[in-house]
Structure 1
Amino acid sequence: MREIPKRSISEFNSKLKLKGFNVFQIEADGNATKVYSRKDFYKICLTTGKSKIHYSDRSFEAEGTILFFGNPHVPYSWETLSTEYVGYTCLFSEEFWNASPRAESLQNSPLFKLGGTPILEISAEQRDFLNSLFERMINEQQSDYQFKDDLIRDYINLILHESLKLEPSKNYDQKKSAAERLTSVFLELLERQFPIESPEQPLSLRTPAEFANSLAVHTNYLNRVVKQVTGKTTSQHISERITTEAKAILTNTSWNTADVAYALGFEYPTYFNNFFKKQTGNSPTMLRK
């Protein structure tokens, strides 16, 4: 197996972070797929070969063609067991997905949600059709078409709808722990507050303590199980989601900074400015410019 220089891996990650989307053929960039370790992005893989996937506290063994859906909120790892391994990988950020006004919450999707069905077995006929969708995304990614991002999101949507028609893999261990159930409810409760349509309807839950109170559990317990299941703290999930919403509001509305701050649960605009700069490296004003 050839080695990919560290610089190439870094460039690959930087390119993905910049655009919020990347799709590539595994046989053409196989090692990049195996060494890619960031979990900041949703992932769809169509692969043929023998592998073992560890998803949260469950494992799945596959020999054939499968479709895998990776959620950045759920820890997972992938072992390639065969010498021949081909297919496609699509990676996209939540911001890329939410740029569409018709976007539905990925956290609520049976394919991506915690405790859902992230692994599907694919027939030869289904593989040919899905191959064509990944090829189209690759072609669009390289094109100069003005609305290619919208078109790529449509292809992802088509993959999701085709996948929902399929039966979940019978080799997948579907047991769900109490920690996963609580984490799932927390993430859904967090996501349910978005998008924010008006400054007059600010966030009702913003701190780990407020979420814990709503879920009738101790704050320390909620923090512990969320960290155990997702690898991120409760505060990290809340801050990341608020940052994503802040960017969307600043980009797509003319609300002043005070309105944005109030809508996102900040008592003073200066608190929001400091938070946003810490999370993104830029001030809200700089983002708009």
Structure 2
Amino acid sequence: MQDNKERSISEFNNELKMKGFNVFQIESDGKATRTYSRKDFYKICLTTGRSIIHYADRSFETEGTVLFFGNPHIPYSWETISTSYVGYTCLFSEAFFKASDRPESLQKSPLFKIGGTPVLKITEQEREFLNALFLRMIDEQKTDYTYKDDLIRNYINLIIHEALKLRPSENYVQHLNAASRLTSVFLELLERQFPIESIDRPLQLKTAQDYASTLAVHVNSLNRAVKEVTGKSTTSHISERIIREAKALLQHTDWNIADIAYALGFEYPSYFNNYFKRMTGTNPKTYRIGEV
């Protein structure tokens, strides 16, 4: 039974990665939404029930029907309080959404942008209209219609435009322990940058300022919170994680050192060599040969 469940989750993830899109009822979701690659996929949820959505350093208390927009670049978690919880989830990659030559980035949308408010309160009339759109996407997903991807993108656009007409939820509270929450979000975002799987997709977030900007907080606030909670600086956490990834790439890939340097965000191999030696006491070439 466990093998069948693991296979179904694996099939779900493979299908999602291949198509760049999936939509389903939350009731039949199982563990799938908790295992998809949030590093790559945007998420729109229409849900009815009571819950607390933790998004970056804020928490939204929701009851009734809400529409939620999840950005894969911002860590979030969903705490369900109701015994009954229903709705729909739509997952899609930016590549899928922009396949029809849309020039704009989803990250610039008021709904998905960093620092935005991703939770919208929905009336019963709005819920019925949005329900119908999700059901149409679910039905269309099963067809062999040649242009179904275009049609599904149009449905996603319609949901986004309907949402833009609505007022964002103001029912949010700061986490009881703001420093702890912010540190947790930073550490999760840091871990999401890895592993580095392709030379063509180099590390994007490399400094404390990069992470602070992504989380829409002042870098001093981030540094203060991380130091208070972990006893180490933000920069130390970033450096240690980059070095850990560098060691893995040196040991387990055949990439040359220049490629590894570029993949980890270094402009020149010499910068990487100096950084690696300062952090480990040896240079990358020696480490690779010795597999220390």
Structure 1 length-normalised TM:
0.60
Q: Is the 8 A contact 1:50 1:63 kept in 2?
A: yes
Q: Distance between the aligned counterparts of 2:19 and 2:6, measured in 1?
A: 20
The one-letter code of the counterpart of 2:68 is F
The residue aligned with 1:16 is 16
The residue aligned with 1:31 is 30
The residue aligned with 2:87 is 87
| Aligned-residue offset at 1:82 | 1.3
- Cα distance change on mapping 1:33 and 1:67 into 2, 3 Å: farther
- Cα distance change on mapping 1:167 and 1:5 into 2, 3 Å: same
Q: Distance between the aligned counterparts of 2:29 and 2:150, measured in 1?
A: 27
Q: Is the 8 A contact 2:88 2:134 kept in 1?
A: yes
Q: Does 1:118 align with 2:118?
A: yes
Q: Distance between the aligned counterparts of 1:39 and 1:131, measured in 2?
A: 24
Deviations 1:101-130 (A, max 9, x none): 135211110100110110001000000000
SS of structure 2 residue aligned to 1:18: helix
Q: Distance between the aligned counterparts of 1:113 and 1:96, measured in 2?
A: 18
| Aligned-residue offset at 1:68 | 0.4
| Aligned-residue offset at 1:79 | 1.3
Deviations 1:164-209 (A, max 9, x none): 10011120248999x9xxx9xxxxxxxxxxxxxxxxxxxxxx9969
| Aligned-residue offset at 1:97 | 1.2
The one-letter code of the counterpart of 2:163 is S
- Cα distance change on mapping 1:65 and 1:207 into 2, 3 Å: closer
Q: Is the 8 A contact 2:57 2:174 kept in 1?
A: no
The residue aligned with 1:75 is 75
Q: Distance between the aligned counterparts of 1:60 and 1:224, measured in 2?
A: 26
Q: Can you give the 5+ residue segments of structure 2 that lack an aligned partner in the other structure?
A: 187-203, 214-218, 224-232, 246-266, 269-292
Q: Is the 8 A contact 2:9 2:32 kept in 1?
A: no
| Aligned-residue offset at 1:31 | 2.1
The one-letter code of the counterpart of 1:111 is L
Q: Distance between the aligned counterparts of 1:25 and 1:103, measured in 2?
A: 30
Comparing 17-26 with 164-173, which one deviates more in the overlay? 164-173
Q: Distance between the aligned counterparts of 2:86 and 2:78, measured in 1?
A: 14
| Aligned-residue offset at 1:18 | 0.9
The residue aligned with 1:194 is none
Structure 2 length-normalised TM:
0.59
Q: How does 1:91-240 map to 2 (within 5 A)?
A: 91-173=91-173, 224=234
| Aligned-residue offset at 1:6 | 2.0
The residue aligned with 1:190 is none
Compute the RMSD of aligned alpha carbons.
4.1
SS of structure 1 residue aligned to 2:16: helix
Q: Distance between the aligned counterparts of 1:45 and 1:144, measured in 2?
A: 25
Point out the structure with max Rg over C-alpha. 2
Q: Distance between the aligned counterparts of 1:224 and 1:52, measured in 2?
A: 28
SS of structure 2 residue aligned to 1:72: coil
The residue aligned with 1:249 is none
Comparing 76-85 with 4-13, which one deviates more in the overlay? 4-13
Q: Is the 8 A contact 1:3 1:31 kept in 2?
A: no
Q: Distance between the aligned counterparts of 1:116 and 1:174, measured in 2?
A: 15
Q: Distance between the aligned counterparts of 1:207 and 1:7, measured in 2?
A: 33
Q: Distance between the aligned counterparts of 1:147 and 1:102, measured in 2?
A: 17
Q: Distance between the aligned counterparts of 1:35 and 1:4, measured in 2?
A: 17
The one-letter code of the counterpart of 1:43 is K
The one-letter code of the counterpart of 2:165 is K
| Aligned-residue offset at 1:45 | 0.1
SS of structure 2 residue aligned to 1:143: coil
- Cα distance change on mapping 1:33 and 1:83 into 2, 3 Å: farther
| Aligned-residue offset at 1:37 | 5.1
Q: Is the 8 A contact 2:51 2:63 kept in 1?
A: yes
- Cα distance change on mapping 1:4 and 1:111 into 2, 3 Å: farther
Deviations 1:107-154 (A, max 9, x none): 110100110110001000000000011111111111111111111111
The residue aligned with 1:199 is none
SS of structure 2 residue aligned to 1:14: helix
Q: Distance between the aligned counterparts of 2:205 and 2:78, measured in 1?
A: 34
- Cα distance change on mapping 1:86 and 1:103 into 2, 3 Å: farther
Comparing 122-131 with 144-153, which one deviates more in the overlay? 144-153
